[in-house]
Structure 1
């Protein structure tokens, strides 16, 4: 068993023990240790994937070319700095290792925020960060062929309890959003983040409301109420930002744009959906002149029944 693996176990255990003590003053130490432990586990996965290599050649962050005497170069590790989170993800891909589908960014952001200012509820916020990243612990141990309970027995119950508590609240949050009569398909609402504390525990202030126009959000981490307009932007961005990125990358019109009726940046145009989440208006239709489909990008409020080309031709005729 390597020193890095031992250090990973120690760091995670210390982080959870600090977290269990409760006082806010220990939360920064808890976040630092737990976060460091996760990164060390990831580095151990890389090292075991190349058992014959020098560990620093696997996890070193800086290299320099050295002539090999035969007209080529060898890469030599510079210093003892090891890879950060971004580099770890990249090397996992290079090594053909699956990166866990879990949220470590919340933990990283929590640690950084605590170093710069005092959070309103650091204990509960760190609890969510631990719960969100818990699947990463399990996945790393699976890659290593190790049983996490064997190595983290003293803190395993705490890890499980935080995950269970988080999932219980998250389930209620998502249930309150799923009953809403949305104007188009919504997805990945568990990835929304509170504008105040970045928590993903976002639901409705009234969990029984099904009317989109009455949606008021609430963060069940910090208690912040989220206005209707902000909630619509969050729902649209979470549900369609990937489509918007892919469409833009392919040179197509974006999936999210400004609504020509209310001017909110919550109009969704995907080919299957063409509607504004804020005001509920849809400008889609068929051109009365040429039968071309009218999208939000074709729409002209002065000629709502015509596509952009036919609207242009009508204006040209009128000018003549």
Structure 2
């Protein structure tokens, strides 16, 4: 098997040279080369964690059982396909390796679109997705106990400069959103996503404003502007989308709902708060008839003081 580490470094360097040149065509090439190199670097981490094993038994994507001659089975690699990003992440966990705390999903999505369709977003968003993942290279090389400055000597200065520039801009945007008086906890704002280009560089147009009900947003990658309600929806999505995902898997109600008052998809009900992040109205309370909790998912605007069951019962009585 060819030296995966050397191939990884070559792909990353080629990608960074394309990235540094900066034209649209070269940026598309940068995504292909850089992403391929990033995955190869991760695979090298797995291989070095079990140096006595056959590399394909570590990074192979498909296996099938074969009799071992003693009544049991062994598993043999099928074909030459190697692990994709999700499998790579899973095997890091099984090997006891630390997975970088980096949002690589945007770059993966852009790369897949380039492979199968075309890039629908502005090239600037692709550039941001690449720059946002640079710390992943550093983490992988740290796992490999390789010096990034030596390994990536020709492009190391570019990686440092772009990482610092992106981090400064992202921090400025996040700080402007955290400054607002949201009615509940906000977090994970590095996951916020522009509806036009997918960028995470969403911040307030007025960086000094502290009133969430007077906040207007802007994407500092493509220039798309957002009114107050849209900004609240994006903040809520970034802060609670993971909780919503787990709730859906467990068959529970999502912590994110449509506000009965302003119709923004910004109402949060998670056991700690029950309030709209856009208009700050709440429907929480006790049913005046039975004392049960009133939740946003069961709220009936025609009977605001009743739980869903009592509202249904009263409505049935009225029809009779």
Match of 2:275 in 1: 275
Match of 1:242 in 2: 242
Residues 1-320 of structure 1 mapped to structure 2, 5 A cutoff: 3-114=3-114, 116-117=117-118, 121-122=122-123, 124-311=124-311
For residue 104 of structure 1, report the CA deviation from its aligned partner. 1.8
Cα offsets for 1:12-68 (capped at 9, x unmatched): 111111211222221122111111111011111111111111111111112233222
Report the aligned-residue RMSD. 2.4
SS in 2 for 1:271: coil
**Pair 1:62–1:299, CA change in 2 (3 A):** closer
1:130 touches 1:162 (CA, 8 Å); kept in 2? no
2:121 touches 2:198 (CA, 8 Å); kept in 1? no
Deviates more, 1:255-264 or 1:306-315: 306-315
SS in 1 for 2:66: strand
**Pair 1:305–1:156, CA change in 2 (3 A):** same
Instruction: Return 5+ residue gaps in structure 2 as ranges.
Output: none
Instruction: Return 5+ residue gaps in structure 1 as ranges.
Output: none
1:128 touches 1:162 (CA, 8 Å); kept in 2? no
SS in 2 for 1:83: coil
For residue 303 of structure 1, report the CA deviation from its aligned partner. 3.2
**Pair 1:113–1:227, CA change in 2 (3 A):** farther
For residue 299 of structure 1, report the CA deviation from its aligned partner. 3.1
**Pair 1:170–1:309, CA change in 2 (3 A):** same
Q: Distance in 2 between matches of 1:157 and 1:37?
A: 18
Cα offsets for 1:140-188 (capped at 9, x unmatched): 1121122211211111110010101101111221122122222222111
Q: Distance in 2 between matches of 1:126 and 1:300?
A: 44
For residue 106 of structure 1, report the CA deviation from its aligned partner. 2.2
For residue 119 of structure 1, report the CA deviation from its aligned partner. 6.3
Between Structure 1 and Structure 2, how many residues are aligned? 318
2:177 touches 2:204 (CA, 8 Å); kept in 1? yes
**Pair 1:55–1:310, CA change in 2 (3 A):** same
SS in 2 for 1:195: coil
**Pair 1:127–1:72, CA change in 2 (3 A):** same
Q: Distance in 1 between matches of 2:52 and 2:119?
A: 45
Normalised by the length of structure 1, the TM-score is: 0.89
Q: Distance in 2 between matches of 1:22 and 1:316?
A: 66
SS in 1 for 2:75: strand
**Pair 1:74–1:106, CA change in 2 (3 A):** same
For residue 221 of structure 1, report the CA deviation from its aligned partner. 0.8
Deviates more, 1:207-216 or 1:170-179: 207-216
Q: Distance in 1 between matches of 2:65 and 2:88?
A: 21
SS in 2 for 1:154: coil
